[in-house]
Amino acid sequence: MWHDLWIALALLLILEGVFPFLSPDGLRKALAAIHHLSDSQLRFVGLTCMLIGVVLLYVVNH
């Protein structure tokens, strides 16, 4: 189980690093846009991402 968790963390870091590596200016613009979102909008985006992740995990594992 720990092995799988470390693999998941490594993949997360790889994916998180792609955007700033390929487009640093795009990342700055995206972060500036995120800065202007309200708390409720950020929570909605976070919840949506989590739900998509849960659905994706379910689909991949079944």
Residue by residue, pLDDT tens for the chain (62 residues) are: 899 999 999 999 999 999 999 999 999 999 999 999 999 999 999 999 999 999 999 999 99
- Residue 28 pLDDT: 96
- Residue 1 pLDDT: 85
SS3 readout for the chain: CHHHHHHHHHHHHHHHHHHHHHCHHHHHHHHHHHHCCCHHHHHHHHHHHHHHHHHHHHHHHC
**Dihedral (C-alpha) 49, 55, 58, 60: value to the nearest 10 degrees?**
-80
- Residue 12 pLDDT: 95
- Residue 15 pLDDT: 95
